[in-house]
Copies of this chain bind each other. A is one copy, B any other.
Amino acid sequence: MSFRPSAVRATRAIVYTRSGEPSDVLRALTYKPLPPPPPNTLNIKFLLSPINPADINVIQGVYPSKPSLTSLVHEQPVYVGGNEGLAEVKQVGAGVSGLNPGDWVVMTKSQLGTWCSIRNVEVDDVLRVPRADALTEVHGATLTVNTPTAYNMLNNFVTLEKGDWVVQNGANSAVGQAVIQIAASRGLKTLNLVRNRPDFSELATRLKSLGGTEVLTYDDLADRNLTNTIVKDWTSGKGIRLGLNCVSGKDTTSMSRLLGNDAYLVSYGAMSKQPLSLPTSLFIFKNLTTVGFWQTRWYKTHTRQDKEILMQTLVDLVVQGKLKEPEHEILTIAAQDSDEVAGQKIRDTMAKLLGGQHGKKVLLRIE
């Protein structure tokens, strides 16, 4: 058995050249070391990059954010997968200030291609992550999509006071779990809705251990006694003013009936693949407002200072122990894996993710 010495270890990326099922079109590509970073760019090494559901839609070609073709040195241009990731600065180009080798950075430009080992990136496309002992690589790698989505949805639409309620579906999603924790950190109560399942009480216990107040299934919403009496009791008859939706379809129609006057229903996903269908009377007579939230747009429409404040806020929550690592597993592409082996690993993982309800977030580490 022989090792290639690390001095000559090449860089590697998970790439594709045409849209399609990720389990078909992805491959691993080893490319030659990059030149030193040009002015106002950074040479960064990715530590850990999530495989988010939206990444799959991007590769399928059905997501509004499109990646750009990238030339990795002498290779034909390719698309590099991945939108989110934590990287360490290795080298800074001329004119870069405020960022130094050893700093952690995350991407604030979408579809940069984070499933790779080493890239040169524009300094404006990344944000420094304040280091803290409590902040793990897993935390850092998941700070730019799900966690700020949860944070912003709780903050940007309705002014909520301690003790107020929020209702959400898909409560066991990564965003949902962040919602539970961030809401709890503010003294907000959460009514968490999930699909019915054999291990419901286990899941309910887990969500409550994160700080969730109550957990129900969508099926429970058919019970008018529950929605009219029990939920009213929980909320002391005060209408719930914020609903968060990543499901749509009929289960969200039922959820909307739990909302009180002047509520916002914020959608960030549609896992049912059904439209959002609501009685018009909720809008007219209960003054419901329905909006969407997309963290990608938030980055596009906010200043660097806004982004730095957001990042610091989220890191502070981690440091205070109020935001746990999401449940995850790590897929490692080892240095000694051939591109064939590495490509097969990623395609197999994608096939599993596409195949069904994969509870844990998968994070990619390219050694």
Contact = CB atoms under 8 A, between A and B. Distances in A.
Interface of A: 64, 245, 248, 253, 267-270, 275-294, 297
A290 B289 contact: yes
A185 B285 CA distance: 29
Given A284-B294, A289-B290, 8 more contacts: A269-B284, A275-B277, A275-B278, A275-B280, A277-B277, A277-B278, A287-B292, A290-B291
A293 B282 CA distance: 10
Nearest to A64: B285
A280 B270 CA distance: 6
A149 B253 CA distance: 27
B294 A280 contact: no
Contact of A276 (B267, B268, B270, B278): B278
Contacts of A281: 64, 270
A49 B248 CA distance: 43
A272 to B, nearest CB: 9
A112 B294 CA distance: 45
Contacts of A290: 283, 289-291
B284 A275 contact: no
B276 A280 contact: yes
Q: How many copies does the complex hold?
A: 2
Nearest to A294: B284
A284 B276 contact: no
Of residues A278, A286, A288, which shows the largest number of chain B Cβ atoms within 10 Å of its Cβ?
A: A278
Contact of A292 (B248, B276, B284): B284
Contacts of A275: 253, 277-280
Contacts of A269: 280, 284
A55 to B, nearest CB: 16
11 contacts: A248-B280, A253-B275, A267-B283, A269-B280, A275-B277, A275-B278, A275-B280, A282-B292, A283-B292, A284-B293, A289-B291
A159 to B, nearest CB: 17
Of residues A277, A280, A287, A297, which shows the largest number of chain B Cβ atoms within 10 Å of its Cβ?
A: A280
A253 B276 CA distance: 11
A285 to B, nearest CB: 5
Contacts of A268: 284
Contacts of A284: 267-270, 292-294
A280 B253 contact: no
Contact of A288 (B245, B277, B292, B297): B292
Nearest to A301: B287
B280 A291 contact: no
Contacts of A293: 284
Of residues A245, A276, A278, A282, which shows the largest number of chain B Cβ atoms within 10 Å of its Cβ?
A: A276
Contacts of A245: 280
A280 B272 CA distance: 10
Contact of A291 (B277, B283, B285): B283
A292 B284 CA distance: 4
A289 B287 contact: no
A64 B290 CA distance: 21
A281 B277 CA distance: 13
